[in-house]
Chains A and B, each alone.
Chain A
Amino acid sequence: MFAAQAAGGSALSFPILTTLVLVPALGGILTILTSNRRPESTKFVALVASTVTAGLSIWLLSSFETADAGFQFVSQHPWIRDWGIGWHVGVDGISLFLVVLTGLLFPLVIAGIDPHHDHKRYLGWMLVLEAGVMGSFISLDLFLFFLFFEIVLVPMYFLIGGWGYDQRVYAATKFFLYTMFGSAFMLVGIVATAVLAKNSLGYVTFDLVQLAEGAEFAASSGRWLFMAFAIAFAVKVPLFPLHTWLPDAHTQAPTGGSVILAGVLLKLGTYGFLRFGLYLFPEASVWVRPLFLTLAVIGILWGAIAATMQKDLKRLVAYSSVAHLGFIVLGTFAFTSQALTGSVMQMVNHGISTGALFLLVGMIYERRQTREISQLTGLQAVAPIFAAAFMVVMLSSIGVPGLNGFVGEFLILIGSFGNARWWVVIGATGVILAALYLLWAYQRVFHGEPDEDNKSFAELRPREGILLLSFIAPIILMGVFPKPMLERIEPSVKALVAHVETNVGRGFEFEKKDIAPVVHSGTNPSETENKDDEGHGG
């Protein structure tokens, strides 16, 4: 039952994960305490805090045991004994890259994008947000997860509401209420999980590992509990009918906020499905599979079609997020290790490429004070480097082979094809639509002759160039050489799939039969992907 923890114990005695949460949190407080008269000291503190976090997350990555499927760097302390709540954190292959992504994205955003006013509070909220996101990804305790999941709302609310565009208050409130609506169900679900698990465990605990490995739920209650969690995650992802907060929040958020929102915040939902849906309620997640596959496919198509029709460039990117996250959910509910690996990878990919797209749109807005596609034309002629950067990022988002987006999407599609054929067939049209709306937008914005307003469009500045380069480098690197990443993700994903299979038993035979040939024919999926990449993209 405690196998996972024992495995983690071997890693490091230094509580690196706890530090990952504490450093940005304390940094945020320190930032607020710095003097108003010396803005550079404020930024310095914020940069130091986020860079230290980034360094720690790199260290985490480098000392991660590649072949180990269990949780590593675990640290566990009791917190509220009366309720069976503890500080239990750890990472496995699924959360590792999300933690690293969080660690790296924040210093970039803090260093690269300046808010127009009130640096101190902006940076303070940013760091608190980082601590919250970090905490959510490493929590192995339901209560702890919920706590961080909710904490994330507050800084994001203030970032959108305080530094956003015209409709910022509306968008921020909508974001807050939608997410809180989801969390309302999740909180009841979390409590009910712990209470119901008492029957089989004999004691009350909110510890994820103990619940997932030891507790047994009646089929019907497991399904209810899963749905309670799923609503929260579906809002966060966002899945089709609950997605309407996202375009508003993205469009109205300041650039830095958008990048973070797309980069890591949305992943809380998809990550939640993996960690707290599949792992905790395998039987129920198999049972609701058709529903979520369908919603994912609707999301893909809906997002793509809506994106095609947008007049606002930022809204377009926002809707493309809905489509991309649909893919991730599709892969998640395929229940094959290939598709799940693809999903995890796609989470990171989407974070990087959509984050970069928002960054670029932000730069366009900064120069032109508009995001209307019809107002922009011929930018390629006046700013070729800018256009080239936009092109690369966009192609990554489309999923062109050789760039990172392809690897994830391909793994998802091929991994789901075996047991979710028709969903994949319909969902795959989303790939084509993605090419359509992004290329069309590119054509309208960058091609043609620049008119009077666009003539003076400034070329990429060195600082912006460095910022973008740090996005583009991993885009290419992960596209060409995804193996190191895949081999770290895969063991944990396989363990998760095995966990689902053993727990579901007879009802899941259909999937088992179909999975087997896919896994065997592909031998090692990561290698297959490598070949494919080099074949297409090289």
Chain B
Amino acid sequence: MFAAETLTGPSIPWFTLSPLLALLIGACVLMLGGSLLPQWPRGLYGIVTALSAATSIVLCFFLWDNLSDGRPETIIGDALAFDHFAVLGTISICVAVLLASLTTSDYLVREGEDGPELFVLYLSAAIGGIVMVAAQDLIVLFLGLETLSLALYVLAASNRRREESQEAGLKYFILGGFSSAFFLYGIALIYGATKHTNLGRIMETLSSQQAFPRNDVLLLAGVGLLLVGLAFKVAAVPFQVWTPDVYQGAPTPVTSFMASAGKTAAFAALLRVSVTALESRVDDWRPVVWVLAVLSLVVGSVLAVTQTNVKRMLAYSSISHAGFILLGVEAASHTGSASAADGIASAMTYLLLYTVLVIGTFTIVGLVAGRGDSASNLTDFRGLGRRRPALALALTVFLLAQAGMPLTSGFVAKFGVIRAAVETSSYAIAIIAMLASVIGAFLYLRIMVSAWMEDAEGQDAAPPVPFLSGLAVTAAVAFTLVVGIVPGWLLDATRQVITLAGR
């Protein structure tokens, strides 16, 4: 009306956003095609999802190459960051979508509920996750977080025939709502303290307020609340209470997606916010991360020992893994030293490797759980070595990898974070982590004992292994072993993620 000139929007680098767009297009196709066309051929929904995730991964490789020539930068008016870190996070999440959609397809066919809904939710959750990974602004981060979370709530409750699934969805929703509220309040307080929500500006403001005495009350309260929100999403102790119930109750493929993509997105956001925006206040948040890491490691592995349900066990083990990744975050907090960068790289590598591992493991658990998705007790795994040797062998590879055995990707992951911790002279936490992994090993051994050394009475039926699930498991096993034996190429690549945009 009164405006003399018109608003000029920020320039939008479409190609940089292409991985996101590929997922978005996939979601729209599924939603429209799925609702307007009659029932698609069996498994096609899953394949379309997998294809759009694969497209997204391929696009990520192009972007990675582009980045290697240029510099990391912030895009769309500093809303998103475009750097190796974001691209690697995107790849992790897309890998999660790819593998999870293959197994979900078989799961839905088995339950007689094949349809596009779950896949659309996967894709929109992934979009949210990718936005979190790349978010350069706290508000954008919150948008991503909510997109991811809302999709995950529905996914957790998606098995309408199992009470546990409903319970899982409701619990996750209520607690997740709480944590989002904390998170949002944290953003508000940080805005109050710095007058900015953009990570780069916050960093500048804070580093210009270094002189003592300073009044950081608002900021620190905000950071604390922010950490609560993110620690909830990564399932770090003491914000882990929902994890076992939700992991157990949710449909198994969904659990695998939550444990992989959800963790990756939240950890990447945690890393970016803490290392970029709060760089000058590392001394304030490092102890918090330290405590979270130690608690997660110890509580996760100790509580896992007494469980009898494999999904619950793996839920606790994922808490313990969160502790390991926090080790990398802790190392990244030593920003003064050159080895802080190793913390970022090792945490991101861990996330990628863990994504594949955990989906592989849960896929096998889901196959064993069978129709109705309910036979996931330790006793249901008895005699698996005799009934399905190949499946049991794959499970063993995954479990050994989770325990951190050499020649598997799990060892590469653990070695990376331990190395980062030791380089920053955090010996205590490194030793605690290793001891926790010994306790954790007991848990994996129990599953292996069940599968190989105990014979089942009256359980002679071999769980069927549909093609797509078999494909996903094979790919995951291959990846686990290849990275375990020749990790050099991956480490070379992930070392590039240490340069964050806008830093």
Contact = CB atoms under 8 A, between A and B. Distances in A.
A158 interface: yes
Nearest to B406: A147
Nearest to B441: A180
A265 interface: no
Contacts of B33: none
Contacts of B488: 79-82
B442 A169 contact: no
5 contacts: A82-B495, A150-B411, A153-B405, A161-B449, A162-B453
B296 interface: no
Given A168-B453, A173-B449, 6 more contacts: A82-B491, A157-B445, A181-B435, A185-B431, A187-B415, A188-B430
Would you list the 4 A-B pairs with minimal beta carbon distance, nearest first? Answer: A184-B434, A147-B406, A191-B422, A82-B491
A138 to B, nearest CB: 16
Contacts of A192: 422, 427
Interface in B411-430: 411, 415, 418-419, 422-423, 427, 430
A188 B418 contact: yes
Nearest to A81: B488
Interface of A: 79-83, 146-148, 150-151, 153-154, 157-158, 161-162, 168-169, 173, 176-177, 180-181, 183-185, 187-188, 191-192, 195, 224
A191 B415 contact: yes
Interface in B439-468: 441-442, 445, 449, 452-454
A169 B495 contact: no
B405 A184 contact: no
B407 to A, nearest CB: 6
Contacts of B434: 183-185, 187-188
B487 interface: yes
Interface residues of B, number: 29
Contacts of B441: 176-177, 180
Question: Interface majority SS on A: helix, strand, loop or mixed?
Answer: helix
> Which residue of B406, B438, B454 has the most chain A CB atoms within 10 A of its CB atom?
B406
A173 B422 contact: no
Contacts of B69: none
A162 B451 CA distance: 11
Contacts of B492: 81-82
A12 B181 CA distance: 69
A187 B405 contact: no
A150 B406 contact: yes
Contacts of A158: 452
Nearest to A192: B422
A195 B423 contact: yes
Contacts of A173: 442, 445, 449
Contacts of A148: 406
A185 to B, nearest CB: 7
B400 interface: yes
Given A169-B453, A177-B441, A184-B438, A151 B405 contact: yes
B105 interface: no
A180 B422 contact: no
Nearest to B495: A82
B437 interface: yes
Contacts of B495: 82
Contacts of A191: 415, 418-419, 422-423, 430
Nearest to B450: A169
Contacts of A187: 415, 418, 434
Contacts of A180: 437-438, 441
A78 to B, nearest CB: 9
Given A81-B488, A82-B492, A150 B452 contact: no
Question: Interface majority SS on B: helix, strand, loop or mixed?
Answer: helix
Contacts, number: 81
A83 B419 CA distance: 9
B491 A154 contact: no
A28 B405 CA distance: 18
A150 B449 contact: no
A437 B116 CA distance: 74
> Which residue of A80, A158, A187, A224 has the most chain B CB atoms within 10 A of its CB atom?
A187
A154 B400 contact: yes
Contacts of A177: 438, 441-442, 445
Contact of A188 (B405, B406, B431, B487): B431
> Which residue of A81, A158, A191 has the most chain B CB atoms within 10 A of its CB atom?
A191
A184 B406 contact: no
Nearest to B492: A82
A176 B445 contact: yes
A183 B418 CA distance: 13
A207 B8 CA distance: 59
Nearest to A193: B422
Nearest to A168: B453
A173 B422 CA distance: 29
Nearest to A148: B406
B427 A161 contact: no
Nearest to B422: A191
A151 to B, nearest CB: 6
A195 B430 CA distance: 14
A150 B437 CA distance: 14
Given A82-B488, A154-B400, A188-B418, A161 B453 contact: yes
B25 to A, nearest CB: 37
A148 B434 CA distance: 18
A181 B440 CA distance: 11
Nearest to A163: B453
B41 to A, nearest CB: 36
Nearest to A178: B438
A220 to B, nearest CB: 12
B407 A151 contact: yes
Contacts of A80: 487-488, 491
A173 B437 CA distance: 14
Nearest to A224: B427
Contacts of B405: 150-151, 153-154
A21 B187 CA distance: 57
Contacts of A82: 488, 491-492, 495
A146 B419 CA distance: 14
A81 B487 CA distance: 10
Contacts of A224: 427
A83 B491 contact: yes
A151 B406 CA distance: 7
Given A169-B453, A188-B427, A195-B422, A146 B438 contact: no
A404 B491 CA distance: 50
A401 B454 CA distance: 48
B407 A147 contact: yes
A103 B222 CA distance: 63
Given A151-B405, A177-B438, A188-B431, A169 B419 contact: no
Nearest to B434: A184
Contacts of A79: 488
A185 B422 CA distance: 12
A196 to B, nearest CB: 9
Contacts of A157: 445
A79 B488 CA distance: 7
Contacts of B437: 180, 184
Contacts of B431: 184-185, 188
A184 B435 contact: yes
B11 to A, nearest CB: 37
A169 B415 CA distance: 28
A88 B60 CA distance: 37
A176 B449 CA distance: 12
Contacts of B438: 177, 180-181, 184
Interface in B334-361: none
Nearest to A182: B438
Nearest to A153: B405
A85 to B, nearest CB: 9
A139 B230 CA distance: 43
Contacts of A81: 488, 492
B428 to A, nearest CB: 10
Nearest to B442: A177
Nearest to B444: A176
Contacts of B423: 191, 195
